[in-house]
Amino acid sequence: MSKKISYYTKEGLERLTNELATLKSKGRSDIAKQIAEARDKGDLSENAEYDAAKDAQGHLEAKIAQLEDLLSGARLLDETKIDISSVSILSKVTIKNKKNGASVTYMLVSEEEADLKAGKISTQSPIGKGLLGKKKGEVAMIKTPAGELEFEILNIGV
Protein backbone atom coordinates (compact mmCIF):
# COMPACT_ATOMS: atom_id res chain seq x y z
CA MET A 1 0.00 0.00 0.00
CA SER A 2 1.47 3.35 -0.99
CA LYS A 3 1.57 6.13 1.56
CA LYS A 4 -0.48 9.26 0.97
CA ILE A 5 1.89 12.19 0.60
CA SER A 6 0.64 15.47 2.11
CA TYR A 7 2.38 18.82 1.93
CA TYR A 8 2.52 21.15 4.92
CA THR A 9 3.67 24.58 5.94
CA LYS A 10 6.28 24.69 8.70
CA GLU A 11 3.60 25.75 11.21
CA GLY A 12 1.21 22.99 10.17
CA LEU A 13 3.86 20.29 10.45
CA GLU A 14 4.97 21.59 13.86
CA ARG A 15 1.36 21.60 15.09
CA LEU A 16 0.88 17.95 14.08
CA THR A 17 4.22 16.92 15.61
CA ASN A 18 3.41 18.72 18.88
CA GLU A 19 -0.06 17.18 19.03
CA LEU A 20 1.41 13.70 18.58
CA ALA A 21 4.04 14.28 21.28
CA THR A 22 1.37 15.54 23.70
CA LEU A 23 -0.91 12.56 23.06
CA LYS A 24 1.95 10.11 23.51
CA SER A 25 3.15 11.64 26.78
CA LYS A 26 0.39 13.46 28.66
CA GLY A 27 -2.51 11.68 26.94
CA ARG A 28 -1.22 8.18 27.66
CA SER A 29 -0.27 9.17 31.21
CA ASP A 30 -3.76 10.56 31.92
CA ILE A 31 -5.46 7.44 30.55
CA ALA A 32 -3.19 5.17 32.62
CA LYS A 33 -4.18 7.09 35.77
CA GLN A 34 -7.89 6.78 34.90
CA ILE A 35 -7.54 3.03 34.34
CA ALA A 36 -5.62 2.60 37.62
CA GLU A 37 -8.24 4.59 39.57
CA ALA A 38 -11.09 2.61 38.02
CA ARG A 39 -9.28 -0.69 38.70
CA ASP A 40 -8.99 0.25 42.39
CA LYS A 41 -12.79 0.51 42.64
CA GLY A 42 -13.30 -3.25 42.61
CA ASP A 43 -14.92 -5.79 40.31
CA LEU A 44 -13.89 -4.99 36.72
CA SER A 45 -16.78 -6.93 35.15
CA GLU A 46 -19.33 -4.36 36.38
CA ASN A 47 -17.13 -1.29 36.51
CA ALA A 48 -18.42 1.34 34.07
CA GLU A 49 -15.53 3.71 34.84
CA TYR A 50 -13.03 1.02 33.89
CA ASP A 51 -14.87 0.31 30.64
CA ALA A 52 -14.99 4.04 29.83
CA ALA A 53 -11.28 4.45 30.57
CA LYS A 54 -10.39 1.46 28.35
CA ASP A 55 -12.62 2.93 25.61
CA ALA A 56 -10.84 6.27 25.91
CA GLN A 57 -7.51 4.44 25.71
CA GLY A 58 -8.60 2.80 22.45
CA HIS A 59 -9.64 6.16 20.98
CA LEU A 60 -6.35 7.75 22.07
CA GLU A 61 -4.26 4.98 20.51
CA ALA A 62 -6.29 5.24 17.28
CA LYS A 63 -5.66 9.01 17.16
CA ILE A 64 -1.93 8.44 17.78
CA ALA A 65 -1.79 5.86 14.98
CA GLN A 66 -3.63 8.24 12.64
CA LEU A 67 -1.20 11.10 13.38
CA GLU A 68 1.83 8.81 12.97
CA ASP A 69 0.46 7.71 9.60
CA LEU A 70 -0.12 11.33 8.53
CA LEU A 71 3.37 12.36 9.60
CA SER A 72 5.00 9.43 7.83
CA GLY A 73 3.70 10.84 4.53
CA ALA A 74 4.21 14.50 5.45
CA ARG A 75 6.47 16.70 3.38
CA LEU A 76 7.54 20.23 4.27
CA LEU A 77 7.06 22.78 1.51
CA ASP A 78 9.60 25.52 1.05
CA GLU A 79 7.53 28.65 0.44
CA THR A 80 10.48 30.35 -1.29
CA LYS A 81 10.40 27.77 -4.10
CA ILE A 82 6.72 28.03 -4.95
CA ASP A 83 6.00 28.91 -8.57
CA ILE A 84 3.46 31.73 -8.59
CA SER A 85 2.83 31.63 -12.34
CA SER A 86 -0.09 29.29 -11.63
CA VAL A 87 -2.12 28.26 -8.60
CA SER A 88 -0.56 25.45 -6.53
CA ILE A 89 -0.47 24.30 -2.92
CA LEU A 90 0.58 27.15 -0.57
CA SER A 91 -0.40 29.76 -3.15
CA LYS A 92 -2.30 32.77 -1.84
CA VAL A 93 -4.97 33.35 -4.46
CA THR A 94 -7.24 36.35 -4.73
CA ILE A 95 -10.38 35.45 -6.64
CA LYS A 96 -13.46 37.43 -7.66
CA ASN A 97 -16.89 35.88 -7.82
CA LYS A 98 -18.14 36.90 -11.29
CA LYS A 99 -21.78 36.70 -10.19
CA ASN A 100 -21.71 39.04 -7.18
CA GLY A 101 -18.34 40.81 -7.62
CA ALA A 102 -17.07 39.77 -4.19
CA SER A 103 -13.31 39.27 -3.89
CA VAL A 104 -11.63 36.97 -1.39
CA THR A 105 -8.11 35.71 -0.80
CA TYR A 106 -7.42 32.08 0.13
CA MET A 107 -4.28 30.12 0.79
CA LEU A 108 -4.40 26.58 -0.62
CA VAL A 109 -3.20 24.04 1.94
CA SER A 110 -3.46 20.34 2.77
CA GLU A 111 -6.74 18.99 4.14
CA GLU A 112 -5.36 18.81 7.70
CA GLU A 113 -4.33 22.48 7.68
CA ALA A 114 -7.56 23.85 6.19
CA ASP A 115 -9.16 26.59 8.31
CA LEU A 116 -11.72 28.75 6.54
CA LYS A 117 -11.69 31.40 9.30
CA ALA A 118 -7.95 31.82 8.71
CA GLY A 119 -8.47 31.96 4.94
CA LYS A 120 -6.93 28.52 4.34
CA ILE A 121 -8.81 26.11 2.09
CA SER A 122 -7.94 22.56 1.19
CA THR A 123 -6.64 21.63 -2.23
CA GLN A 124 -9.20 18.80 -1.98
CA SER A 125 -12.18 21.17 -1.58
CA PRO A 126 -14.28 21.97 -4.68
CA ILE A 127 -12.89 25.52 -4.88
CA GLY A 128 -9.33 24.39 -4.16
CA LYS A 129 -9.48 21.70 -6.85
CA GLY A 130 -11.01 24.13 -9.32
CA LEU A 131 -8.29 26.75 -8.80
CA LEU A 132 -5.26 24.43 -9.04
CA GLY A 133 -3.22 25.05 -12.19
CA LYS A 134 -5.06 28.23 -13.17
CA LYS A 135 -3.13 31.39 -14.08
CA LYS A 136 -3.73 35.06 -13.25
CA GLY A 137 -6.58 36.45 -15.35
CA GLU A 138 -8.12 33.03 -16.06
CA VAL A 139 -11.70 32.21 -15.12
CA ALA A 140 -12.41 29.01 -13.22
CA MET A 141 -15.82 27.34 -13.45
CA ILE A 142 -16.20 25.46 -10.18
CA LYS A 143 -18.93 23.01 -9.24
CA THR A 144 -19.89 23.53 -5.60
CA PRO A 145 -22.75 22.19 -3.51
CA ALA A 146 -24.46 25.56 -4.15
CA GLY A 147 -24.17 25.10 -7.91
CA GLU A 148 -21.62 26.11 -10.53
CA LEU A 149 -19.71 29.29 -9.70
CA GLU A 150 -17.43 31.39 -11.88
CA PHE A 151 -14.27 32.85 -10.32
CA GLU A 152 -11.69 35.12 -11.94
CA ILE A 153 -8.11 34.76 -10.67
CA LEU A 154 -7.02 38.30 -9.73
CA ASN A 155 -3.68 37.55 -8.10
CA ILE A 156 -1.38 34.67 -7.14
CA GLY A 157 1.26 35.02 -4.44
CA VAL A 158 2.88 33.34 -1.45
CA distance 72 to 3: 8
What length does the chain have? 158
Q: What local confidence, expressed as pLDDT, does residue 7 receive?
A: 77
Condensed to tens digits (0 to 9), the pLDDT of residues 14-28 reads: 988 999 999 999 999
Does the domain at residues 79-157 carry the CATH identifier 3.10.310.30? Answer: no
Instruction: Spell out the domain ranges in the chain.
Output: 6-76, 79-157
32 has pLDDT over 80? yes
Q: Tell me what the mean pLDDT of segment 91-114 comes to.
A: 89
1 has pLDDT over 70? no
Does the domain at residues 6-76 carry the CATH identifier 1.10.287.180? Answer: yes
Per the prediction, the chain carries an average pLDDT of 86
Candidates 34, 33, 146; CA nearest to 100 is 146
Phi/psi at 82 (5° precision)? -80, 130
Condensed to tens digits (0 to 9), the pLDDT of residues 109-133 reads: 888 888 889 999 998 899 999 999 9
